[in-house]
Structure 1
Amino acid sequence: MTDTTIRKSVFLAADKPRVWEFLTKADMLGKWFHPAKEDLVEGQEYTLTSQKDGDRMCWGSVEAATPHDYMKWSFTVGPLAGAMTVVEWLLEEAPGGTRLTLTHSGLPDSGEGYGLVMALDKGWHGFLSNLHDME
């Protein structure tokens, strides 16, 4: 793993507390990303599952959580074979709502890992787009 990083921002017509709910509440995560077994809380492990069959999709722990402003996860998926990456969420006030920025770092930089990086990039693009429907 290296400094290969995915960065994406989306502007949402919702205030920061509302966006925070979608990032941390188990019942809200499943509406735009993957269902969670429980709310995401700083210092706790999390598991997000498949909507179809309940299989584990991604997991890690919530490393930091400053409500309504910032959250940091350790994060892995099956193809990473247990290697942990870092997902950071930054919420900033914007005219009419919130700018949400995702930074996913520590991704593979090898030729073999490039397909996974492309898949994660496409996945994050789609998931963040889903948030527009949740405002």
Structure 2
Amino acid sequence: MTAAIEKSIYLSAPRQAVWTYLTDAKKLGTWFHPSDTDMVAGATYTLSSQTDGERMCWGTVEESRPHDYLRWSFTVGPANGAMSTVEWRLEEIAGGTRLSLSHSGLPDTGDGFGLLLALDKGWHGFLMNLRQLSDDTPLAEAQPAA
């Protein structure tokens, strides 16, 4: 058995704009961690610390269905190479987008609980960064031409 983190937020931006903040390497770095590549299906990625450039997380983009669903394999140093799965679901709602995150395949042991807590806290903070970005600078204004 494994543990999972589930979170949803509401953003005052269309799905297409939110999608670019999940998949464009530079935009991902404005609220999460900078990526060495755009998050497209089949891409192997490394996300780095914004402060010192050190590798933070890495994996592969396993599936991409613009502007609805994105799935990554994902690990961090404390996971000792064990891969987990991060899934993003985007749902258009009146006035914006509901963005849902599911991070599954996490350890459900006493020893792994510290990692689970750290990831839960991290995702909460990063999603709040995205909400703040959405509130301060409408994401739709930053959307590249399709």
TM-score scaled by length of structure 2: 0.90
Aligned counterpart, 2:112: 113
Name the count of aligned residue pairs.
134
Q: Is it true that 1:51 corresponds to 2:50 in the alignment?
A: yes
Q: Which residue of 2 aligns with 1:27?
A: 26
Aligned to 2:62: 63
- TM score, norm. by length of structure 1: 0.97
For residues 20 and 96 of structure 2, what CA distance do their matches in structure 1 show? 14
Q: CA deviation at 1:133?
A: 2.1
CA distance, structure 2, for counterparts of residue 45 and residue 116 of structure 1: 23
CA deviation after TM superposition for structure 1 residue 78, in Å: 0.2
Structure 2 residue identity aligned to 1:30: G
**Aligned-residue CA RMSD (Å):** 0.7
1:41 and 2:40 equivalent? yes
CA distance in 2, matches of 1:24, 1:38: 9
CA positional deviation for 1:96: 0.5
CA distance in 1, matches of 2:68, 2:2: 24
**1:128 equivalent in alignment to 2:132:** no
How far residue 3 of structure 1 moved from its aligned partner, in angstroms, is 2.6
CA deviations over 1:60-110 (Å, ceiling 9, x no partner): 000000011000000000000010000000000111000000000000011
- How far the C-alpha of 1:37 sits from its partner, in A, is 1.1
Matches within 5 A, 1:9-28: 9-28=8-27
Query: Matches of 1:111 and 1:86 in 2, distance apart?
Result: 20
Residue aligned with 1:31, SS: coil
The one-letter amino acid of 1:98's match is T
Identical-pair percentage: 60
SS in 1 for 2:29: helix
Q: Is the 8 A contact 2:37 2:43 kept in 1?
A: no
2:92 maps to: 93
Is contact 2:3–2:107 with CA below 8 Å preserved after alignment? Answer: yes
